[in-house]
Amino acid sequence: MSITEKPKILIVDDLEVNLILLETILRKEQAEIHKALNGPAALELSEIHDYALIILDVSIPGMNGYEIAQRLRQQSLNQLTPIIFVTAIHYDDHSITQGYKAGAVDYLTKPYQNEILLSKVRIFLQLSNQNRELVSQRIALTESIEKYRKAEKTILFKYQLERAVSLASARFSGNFDPESSIQFMLMDMARLCNASAGVFICDKCFVQRIEIKGNEFSGSEIPDTSPEILQQLSHQYNQTGNECNVLINKSAEESLWVKPEHNLTDNNIQSTIAIKVNVSELFEGFILLFNCAGIYEWDASDISSLEIFGTITGNALERYLTRKALEQSEIKYRSYIENAPEGILVAESSGIVADANPAAILMFKHISSELKNSDLHQLLKKENLAGSFPDFISLTGNERNLGEFFVTSGKIIKIIRAESVRLPDSNFLIFCTDMTATREMEKHLIYTERMVGIGEMATGIAHEINQPLNIISFGIDNLLYALNNQKADEEYIKEKTRKIFEGIHRMRTIIDHVRTFSRSNDDYIHSAFSVNESIENALSLVSEQFRNHGISLTSKLADEQSVVVQGNTFKIEQVILNLLSNARDTLDDKIKRKTEGYIPSIIVSSRREDKKILISVEDNGNGIDPEHLEHLTTPFFTTKEPGKGTGLGLAISYGILKEHKGEIVFKSEPGNGTTVELHLPVSGSLTNNNTGA
């Protein structure tokens, strides 16, 4: 009976009037009154109600009060319920003694006083309430003790779990050994669950097993982990939709793997626990704990909390596999660097060399006996730059840096190309290439191509020289004739000698320019010059030759001050001469076809567009097929007939343009001609000058 319910009183009498009278007397009491007219009715009620007091008439037909009382004492609910006998006849000593033996606690004779009855009823009701309160307190105390016991076990479990987790995390930290770390973790988990054995299985790694005998661990007599078990587990995990990472098997049947949803109250059941292990979020294996005798009082949440070991193991294996992959990658790329034919340096932002591969050590062995810890800026000095690198500041300046340097050691002079890139740790990786042989070959090719050009222009140059020679010859003849005939006055002599000296000056200019142009000028220091100068010098060498070929040669030049660039004027002149030579060849080829009304022409122009200077060579020759355009600057590629051209002219021109930070652009329409544009950056002194052609 709940402590909040009213206590119940059962009154039994064979006379209805007596029941009504008693009910009327007891109505004011805080109790629920039940009535019965005979023994069976009373016993029926007592089987379902726990009464605080029973008032029982002794003289009841069929089953008297003594018999009813004896029967009541045999019931569980009212075995100790107080019984007050009420009688008008049986009040002798024998009857009273019999009543007490039957289980009575009091005896009243009729007629009785109401106040006496009420006082006795109140005492028994009070006793009943106190008893109920004591029972309630006992239940509450029992529940509290049980909660405390469970809380104590929970705290102990959590402590042991946290300790095992901490140990596992500590063992998996740093450069750990996975086999021993997993073995120790399985030992801790087996102790936590009082398991007989533990197994870890991972397809990508290895299988680790331990067995417990008392407090000892070994690696033999492990329960079977057949492929069928693993298949059953994989299937069950897939069915849970990856929502549950811990499964439990409470029977000997391999297929009965379930989620831990209920407490394991039967300590005779020794369950097997399976914990899923994910590596990089992919299912890779299991942790199996066999015959877990220590989990029968665990909550489902306690069992599920074991998934933390799967997470720790998966994360540890991911780090282990990543570390092994990094080690392999480091070994591989270290071998690449160590065996690279190019020199590779690692330098701090201050320029101190932190590391160098064997090729770099060999490359700089004549300059520095100890390459590491040397100053990069002293090895590759800015003042020793080879070529034009106007934007170069330092190899440890910008994110990417490029330069070529003269490196001298005694009589040995090398050209080292160094390209640096900033690393994530703010150090710089510098790739060094010995360009000495390459640059010598380029110089030789450029010089050879230049000599070939001069050879092709020899006829034109000879004509250019013959013209002033004829003027000189005719002038001397006329002067001698006038002197012999005494017709040469002072003014006549001055005029003739002036023309002779003009011819001589013209010849000297042509010869000096050919001599300068044909000389190797790789040591020429880049300076500002007008591209008009390069164009006019080139035209002066070929104009007469082109005229003899019947080619119209026209120039459209911008103002000299607006087309100034930085670089080597002779190299730009060589590029223009090569373009003119190619244009002449295509025009000659078209002339041979005797196209009616065809007038071969070449237009050379210069202009400025924003921060670029453009030199254009346009012809109306055969043009170039589209499929050939992308190959024009490829070395040894030529569209000319065999024996005509080396295929190096445009390749060399492309290299010269790149050296000048420029580019070469081809535009052609087959059958109608070709336009080649040279794009060069404006000289730094004119960058902010908006004056254009």
CA distances from 529 to 53, 488, 505 (A): 128, 46, 24
The token pair that represents 93 in the structure block: 């000593």
pLDDT of residue 242: 60
pLDDT of residue 211: 56
Rounded Cα distance between 544 and 557, Å, is 19
Q: Which residue has the tokens 């050994």?
A: 177
CA distances from 300 to 242, 260, 264, 647 (A): 17, 5, 8, 83
Cα Rg, the chain, nearest whole Å: 57
DSSP assignment of 324-375: HHHHHHHHHHHHHHHT-SSEEEEE-TTSBEEEE-HHHHHHTTTT-S--TTSB
The token pair that represents 160 in the structure block: 């042991």
Rounded Cα distance between 251 and 654, Å, is 82
Query: How confident is the model over 28-76, as pLDDT tens digits?
Result: 888 889 999 999 999 999 999 988 899 998 888 888 888 998 898 888 8
Rounded Cα distance between 426 and 438, Å, is 32
> Which domains, and CATH codes, for the chain?
8-138 (3.40.50.2300), 172-322 (3.30.450.40), 340-434 (3.30.450.20), 435-504 (no CATH), 524-686 (3.30.565.10)
Q: Which residues of the chain have pLDDT under 70?
A: 1-4, 90-91, 203-230, 240-243, 251-255, 262-270, 366-369, 410, 445-464, 467, 509, 512-525, 594-595, 641-647, 684-693
pLDDT of residue 209: 58
Query: How confident is the model over 570-628, as pLDDT tens digits?
Result: 888 888 988 888 888 888 888 887 667 788 999 999 999 988 999 999 999 888 888 88
Rounded Cα distance between 141 and 144, Å, is 5
pLDDT of residue 441: 80
Q: Which residue has the tokens 């930290």?
A: 173
| Helix segments in 103-204, DSSP class H | 114-171, 178-193
Torsion of CA 668, 672, 673, 675, to 10 degrees: -50
**CB–CB of 517/578 below 8 Å?**
no
- The number of helices, as runs of H, and strands, as runs of E, in the chain is 18, 23
